Chains A and B, each alone.
Chain A
Amino acid sequence: MKVEKEELLHIANLARLKIKDDEIDKYLLNLQDILNFSNIVNNANVDELKETIGERNSSNVFRKDEIEEFDNIDQMIKNFPEEQENMIRVPKVVQ
């Protein structure tokens, strides 16, 4: 299976990543290499097997939905990339 440039750019867009023009060939080559190798999973005899999703998926885990107050809100606010009156500043999203 060969990965085309358009496909790479489509996938990058889905992942919200921009690949520079001069890096496209390198990404294509690397991706192709890794996918070719990964293709060996298709040689494994697994038709009869179920998928393992996660390590232990035998039971669900529940806890009470109780509110605990977080003790370090100041530090969270300090981590905001842009802040205004204790709120996160973002560009206008509604026209």
Chain B
Amino acid sequence: MDITELTVHELQEKLKNKELTVTEITKAYVNRINEKEKDVQAFITLTTDDAIKQSKEIEDKINKKEISGDLAGIPIGIKDNICKKGVKTTAASKMLENFVSPYNATVMEKINNENLITLGKTNMDEFAMGSSTETSYFKKTKNPWDLNRVPGGSSGGSAAAVASNMVPWALGSDTGGSIRQPAGFCGVVGLKPTYGLVSRFGLIAFASSLDQIGTFTKDIKDTAILLNVIAGHDEKDSTSANVEEKDYTKCLKNDVKGLKIAVPKEFFGEGINEEVKDALEKAIEKYKELGAKVEEVSLDIANYALAAYYIIACAEASSNLGRFDGIRYGYRTPNYTNLKDIYVNSRSEGFGDEVKRRIILGTYVLSSGYYDAYYKKAQKVRTLVKNKFDEIFKNYDVILTPTSPTTAFKIGEKSDNPLEMYLSDICTVSVNIAGLPGLSMPCGVDKNGLPIGMQLIGKHFDEETILNAGYTYEQATKFREKYKAELKK
């Protein structure tokens, strides 16, 4: 048995039956990392030494019955924009290269309360700005299905770490598709919860009205288990929602009879790769077979939503990243004589190209003369997008689309053309604009053997319906039994 192939619920089962111990599990993952990380490069900081130490302590406590808890001793990977106390949290930027977080993000507290073991902080696009993890200051993560290709982004390290069995699951963040798109590219399950379901306290802010922490897992049941851990109201995040606590594993019924699924035809039009379309059409047929009611609808907002997204996200980023000034923490230029020099040179030397580009774009759309034409218009488009989704959700339970227009592209293929890179987010951004939950899961592979992602969008705070829809499809198709990332070049 290869321990690292198992899902978390399988690991839990084996821990419970005493077939495995916590230290065996941790060691298996650490060995896997030692063997494969050089090829995949999914991590910025590894905490494997601490993890081994921690696994012994946890095992000891379990044996002495000092802790019980279903998840004690299960390893996890954490995206490097989520603060973990005493560990470097860099957001993949030179700006925060040496920043050691003095506190834990709320999700990190929750992870620690369950006695999960963090194996490392995963690579990402700098400040989560990108769709390929290529803008990281530190390294380029490779796609485990084809090491010449990108894992997607911005949470590419988390997606690749799960797909290459270096962690059984991981946390990421999603501002415009940064969980779902890499999950799609890497053939794993990614959930962006409803805006407000998971606390953002301790998540390095990119665009505060769009950012949301979510999960990468090998299957849907694990998604439900991890969502149980991280969801919940937090008074440290004023946008955190006060909704009733749920056990998300209870919604996995393996039944979609009568479920009403809307398929927006615009998400299957121009620019969507034929093989992606074919795979999605097969998935639609499967849902019909399983008893769901699937109908084509019109949701003609993708382009508007993408344009509005880049205006709003960059505007918010230009404000959020104002705090990086070289004064209190982060990179400070050695080249200064006065205060303005510190600001300008620290920022110019500390931020990468993509981050600077977005700050400039954001400053531009917020500047007088352009505010009305761009920013204000984009905020109105946001209302339009929300209204369109509301209309569809009056009659349907789930909206089904591709996660991305294509499968994983080659490293370097789009890095010189920012607009082309932005267009790869066309299927995912509208979900953030409307604050809805979105799930990406694999639904097939293309002729190169690369995974194809399917996106299921739900109503606000109705993660249960998309989780059950995903689970039922997963049980009927068994992607993981048929396909596997081989880490080949």
Proximity bits, B326-365, A CB within 8 Å = 1, else 0: 1111111000111111111101100100001101111111
Provide 24 A-B residue pairs closer than 8 Å at the C-beta atoms, listed in order of the A residue.
A11-B360, A15-B318, A16-B340, A17-B347, A17-B356, A35-B361, A35-B364, A35-B374, A40-B304, A41-B308, A41-B377, A41-B378, A41-B381, A42-B377, A46-B384, A52-B380, A53-B209, A54-B209, A70-B103, A75-B85, A75-B86, A80-B329, A91-B339, A93-B339
Name B's interface SS.
Answer: helix
Chain A, 52-95, CB within 8 A of any chain B CB: 52-56, 61, 63, 70, 72-73, 75-76, 78-82, 88, 90-91, 93
Rounded to whole Å, the gap between the CB of A29 and the closest CB of chain B is 10
Q: In this assembly, does B102 line the interface, its C-beta being within 8 Å of a C-beta of chain A?
A: yes
Q: Which of A18, A31, A44, A91 contacts B380 (CB 8 A)?
A: A44
Please give, as numbers and ranges, the residues of chain A lying within 8 Å of B367 by CB-CB distance.
11, 14
Of the residues A33, A55, A76, contact of B418 by C-beta under 8 Å: A33
How many angstroms between the C-alpha atoms of A45 and B384 in the bound complex?
Answer: 8
B196 contacts partner chain A, Cβ-Cβ < 8 Å:
yes
Question: How near does chain A come to B461, taking the closest CB pair, in angstroms?
Answer: 11
- Is B332 touching A82 in the complex (CB atoms < 8 A)? yes
The minimal Cβ–Cβ distance linking A3 to chain B, given in whole angstroms, is 8
**Contacts known (A38-B374, A81-B326); A75 close to B102, Cβ less than 8 A:** yes
Q: Which of B338, B360, B374 contacts A15 (CB 8 A)?
A: B360
Give CA–CA (A76, B102) in the complex, Å. 6
CB neighbours (8 Å) of A52 from chain B are 379-380, 382-383, 386
- A17-B351, A18-B344, A49-B380 known; A56-B327 Cβ under 8 A: no
Most buried by A among B330, B331, B373, B386: B373
A57 CB, min distance to chain B CBs, angstroms: 9
| A46 neighbours in B (Cβ, 8 Å) | 377, 380-381, 383-384
A18 and B376 in contact (CB under 8 A), knowing A34-B418, A54-B239? no
The CA-CA distance from A56 to B330 in the complex, in Å, is 32
Q: When A42-B373, A52-B386, A75-B102 are in contact, do A90 and B360 touch as well, CB less than 8 Å?
A: no
Count of chain A residues near B, Cβ 8 A: 50
Contact: A34 with B310, CB < 8 Å? yes
User: Of A16, A53, A55, A88, which contacts B347 at CB under 8 A?
Assistant: A16
| Min CB gap B19→A, angstroms | 40
| With A11-B367, A80-B328: A55-B345 Cβ-Cβ less than 8 Å | no
Known A41-B307, A91-B338; contact A55-B435, beta-carbon cutoff 8 A = yes
Task: State A85–B96 Cα separation when bound (angstroms).
Answer: 23
Query: Residue on B with the closest CB to A50?
Result: B383
Q: Which of B278-322 contact A (CB under 8 A)?
A: 303-304, 306-308, 310-311, 318
Q: Which 5 A-B pairs have the closest CB atoms?
A: A81-B332, A51-B379, A75-B102, A46-B380, A79-B329
- In the bound complex, residues from chain B placing their C-beta under 8 Å from that of A56 are 195-196, 239, 241, 435
Question: Counting CB contacts under 8 A, is B68 at the interface?
Answer: no
Does B464 reach chain A (CB closer than 8 Å)? no
Interface size on B, residues (CB 8 A): 72
Q: Is B1 interfacial (CB 8 A cutoff)?
A: no
| CA of A59 to CA of B101, assembled, Å | 32
**Given contacts A50-B380, A80-B329, are A34 and B361 in contact (CB under 8 A)?**
yes
* Cβ 8 A contact of A38, one of B85, B311, B329, B343: B311
> Distance (Å) between the CB of B387 and the closest chain A CB?
8
Q: A63-B235, A91-B342 are in contact. Are A81 and B359 (CB under 8 A)?
A: no
B359→A37 contact, CB < 8 A: no
> With an 8 A cutoff between CB atoms, is B422 at the interface?
yes
Q: Is the CB of B357 within 8 A of A31?
A: yes
B103 and A72: CB pair below 8 A?
Answer: yes
- By a CB distance below 8 angstroms, the chain A residues around B332 are 81-82
Q: Is B46 an interface residue (CB 8 A)?
A: no
A-B contacts besides A17-B360, A37-B419, 11 pairs, CB < 8 Å: A11-B360, A14-B363, A35-B374, A44-B377, A50-B383, A52-B380, A56-B239, A56-B435, A80-B328, A82-B332, A91-B337
Q: Contact flags (1/0) for B226-265 with A, using CB distance below 8 Å?
A: 0000000001001101000000000000000000000000
A81's contact among B196, B331, B344, B387, by CB below 8 Å, is which?
B331
B253 to chain A, nearest CB (A): 29
Which residues of chain B are within 8 angstroms of A15 by Cβ–Cβ distance? 318, 347, 359-360, 362-363
Interface flags for B419-452 (1: CB within 8 Å of A; 0: not) read: 1001000000000000100000000000000000
Q: Is B147 an interface residue (CB 8 A)?
A: no
Residue B483 is within 8 A (CB to CB) of chain A in the complex = no
The yes or no answer to B125 lying at the interface (CB within 8 A) is no
Contacting pair B337 A31 (CB below 8 A)? no
Q: Which residues of B contact A50 (CB under 8 A)?
A: 380, 383
